[in-house]
Amino acid sequence: MTIQQQVITILMVVLGTMLTRFLPFLIFPADKPTPKYIQYLGKVLPAAALGLLVVYCLKDVSVFQGSHGIPELISVILIVVLHFWKRQMLLSIAGGTICYMVLVQTVF
């Protein structure tokens, strides 16, 4: 890329970031109540996004080949146990990831 293209790219990224940061405050001012539909989305989208990530992570697991999905199953169980025990999302994700990587690299 030329210098001019790099500058334009950086400016577009800055503009996109600023737009996504400030647009909600412009659309939904503080003096007006938030619409019910937006409140509903705020409640259901986090769970939907996590569900989508779980499906994406487990989509290629085959129970009929290789390790039969055992490392994935153990890691998912560990994630659930850690989350219900400590209620710390980052701890749950890190624990499950470390467990999976250790199992795949050393056991399976």
pLDDT one-digit tens code per residue, 6-24: 999 999 999 999 999 999 8
pTM flag (> 0.85): no
Chain Cα centroid distance, residue 46? 9
Do 75 and 100 meet the contact criterion of CB atoms below 8 Å apart?
Answer: yes
pLDDT over threshold 90, residue 92: yes
pLDDT recorded at residue 58 = 93
- Reading the block at residue 96, the tokens are 């499950």
pLDDT recorded at residue 2 = 95
pLDDT recorded at residue 108 = 86
pLDDT recorded at residue 72 = 94
- What is the DSSP secondary structure assignment for residue 40, as one 8-state letter? H
pLDDT in tens, 24-81: 899 998 899 999 999 999 999 999 998 999 999 999 998 888 889 999 999 999 999 9
Provide the CB-side half-sphere exposure for 93 (13 A, CA).
Answer: 7
- What is the DSSP secondary structure assignment for residue 4, as one 8-state letter? H
